[in-house]
Amino acid sequence: MNEMAVPRVHTFTNGLRLVLAPCEAESVAFGLFVGAGSRHETARTAGISHFIEHMLFKGTKKRRPIDITREIEGRGGNFNAFTGEESTCYYAHLPHEFFGEAVDIILDMYLNATIPEDEFEREKGVIVEEIRMYSDEPDSVAMENLQKALFPGNGLGMPVAGTPESLAPMRPADLRRYIAANYLPSRTVAVIAGRFDEARAVEEVARRIGRCRRRGATLGGSPVDFSVPPCGEVAAEKDVQQTQLAIGYRTFGVRDRRKYAAIVMDAVLGRGMSSRLFQEVREKRGLSYDIASRMQFFQDAGMFTVAAGMDGAKSSLAVSTIDRVLDGIRSRKVPRAELERTKAFILGNFRLTHESVKAKLFFYGSTMLSFGRLVTTDEQVDAVRSVTATDVLEAAEAVLDPANRSVSRVVPLAGAKRPHGGVVS
């Protein structure tokens, strides 16, 4: 098999897009990316996409839950799923000779999940415990509150898992209706990555779903109203010793021409130990053990975030230090040497990541959903290489707009004993 084989897309008459991404490997990964996530829900259905993700593993018309697990793990493989704001993904990764089994199991879950009553109630309890688990993690709380503040009144600000209150009234029939309305070939991207025969791959998928003619109406979920400003400051008290800080900016979406410059900006600021924020906040000033930034894009909006944990007595100094670093990149061009070093870091990391069959699967599935077309790795690499210092400055001015900024803190409970005499600021 040609290691540099060019991926291609096969589109079925029912709208299903199948990405074929062969490469040198001893394994194959098959996944489905459904264009339905938490932003498409309402307050009444909050968490239903994530609930369905759990329930698809709980049995089909011909498989019990234990059968699904054994058929994958019994062949040395692994499988999982995840839900995001705009999509839900299901995938299996197996030795290449079991390609047919991977396709059969994942598509059986997608097409024939039964949502049994006993499993439904039990899994609802599991998800509530998952929500409680994350509510005990201050960094998760800070980021969830930040996203809600950045997108007030919009589905992008809703927690992906929902809340115990939104889950409580849900019944199996609700999930079945949601699946029937949204789990449609025309809203789904299938991806095969690794070692496989392309002709057989198309045949295997076509036999199971290629002739399924289900189509649906436009997904729910309102666009982001940029005339509504983000909430400026939000805070929550938890039984913690550190203050968890998250600073965020609401910005443009995934198809904006400035996307790749914003990715470079993010890497300059907060990706890796040589980044500006890590060097200034941790190495020079010792304000936090760890600090990082992240650039995330959705269809019509995006968000840039900086997160760190610190002694509460240092939080004001930490914010002012972070702001000074951010002001630097939006007011002065990145020096040539730093720009080239950062682009080399991004591209090297990209290459290393894409040695993984599953990474290829996630890349092609997510980009196909986002752009509606095949985005190759070469296109991504060329786009990053072409970014100039002027491009980064332009992106930074747009992204780091003070009018689109929110700050989220998780602070120790009032009156709680603080180590080293620190106080919450």
Give the model confidence (pLDDT) of 335-378 as tens digits. 999 999 999 999 999 999 999 999 999 999 999 999 999 999 99
Distance from C-alpha of 383 to C-alpha of 367, rounded to nearest angstrom? 14
Q: Which residues of 349-377 are buried (b: 16+ CB within 10 A; e: fewer)?
A: eeeeeeebbbebbbbbbbbbbbeeebbeb
Residue 3 confidence (pLDDT): 44
* Number of residues written out for the chain: 425
Average pLDDT of the residues in 115-126? 95
What lies within 8 Å, CB to CB, of 221 at 6+ separation is 39, 40, 41, 155
Which residues, in sequence order, are bridge partners of residue 238? 412
User: What is the pLDDT, as a whole number, of residue 414?
Assistant: 81
Catalytic residue among 53, 85, 86, 119: 53
Rounded Cα distance, 389 and 394, in Å: 9
Domain 8-210 and domain 233-421, same fold? Reply is yes
* Predicted pLDDT at 14: 92
Write the CB contacts of 383 (distance below 8 Å, at least 6 apart in sequence).
260
Answer yes or no: are the C-beta atoms of 382 and 303 closer than 8 Å: no
User: In what helix (H) or strand (E) does residue 339 lie, and over which residues does it extend?
Assistant: helix 336-353
Report the alpha-carbon distance of residue 46 to residue 166 in Å, rounded.
Answer: 6
Cα atoms in the 13 Å half-sphere on the side-chain side of 334:
32
- DSSP, collapsed to helix, strand or coil, labels residue 234 as strand
Scan for tokens 């200034």, then name that residue. Answer: 280
Phi, psi of 47 (to 5 degrees): 95, 0
Portion of the chain with pLDDT greater than 90, in percent: 90
Q: Per residue in 262-292, pLDDT tens?
A: 999 999 999 999 999 999 999 999 999 999 9
CATH placement of domain 8-210:
3.30.830.10
Q: Residue 167 contacts by C-beta under 8 Å, 6 or more apart in sequence?
A: 47, 51, 124, 127, 128
From the list 108, 18, 17, 90, the residue with the least C-alpha distance to 52 is 90
Q: What is the pLDDT of residues 140-169, one digit of tens each?
A: 999 999 999 999 999 999 999 999 999 999
Q: What is the pLDDT of residues 290-315, one digit of tens each?
A: 999 999 999 999 999 999 999 999 99
Listing DSSP states for 67-121 in one string gives HHHHHHHTTT-EEEEEE-SS-EEEEEEEEGGGHHHHHHHHHHHHHHB---HHHHH
CATH number, domain 233-421: 3.30.830.10
* pLDDT score of 421 more than 90: no
Q: What is the pLDDT of residue 212?
A: 78
Residue 220 has pLDDT above 80, yes or no: no
Q: What is the pLDDT of residues 381-393, one digit of tens each?
A: 999 999 999 999 9
* Residues paired with residue 257 on neighbouring β-strands, in sequence order: none
pLDDT greater than 70 at residue 257: yes
The tens digit of pLDDT for each residue in 12-46 reads 999 999 999 999 999 999 999 999 999 999 989 99
Residue-level pLDDT at 299: 94
More confident residue, 150 or 241: 150
Number of H-type helices and E-type strands within the chain:
15, 11
DSSP string covering 119-135: HHHHHHHHHHHHHHHHH
Amino acid 424: pLDDT = 34
* Residue 417 reports pLDDT greater than 70: no
Which pLDDT score, from 0 to 100, does residue 136 have? 94
| Mean pLDDT computed over every residue of the chain | 93
- Known active-site residue 53: yes
Q: Are 348 and 384 in contact (CB under 8 A)?
A: no
Residue 235, C-beta contacts closer than 8 angstroms, at least 6 positions apart:
408, 409, 410, 411
Tell me the whole-structure pTM to 2 decimals: 0.92
Q: What are phi and psi of 365, to 5 degrees?
A: -65, -45
Domain boundaries, the chain: 8-210, 233-421
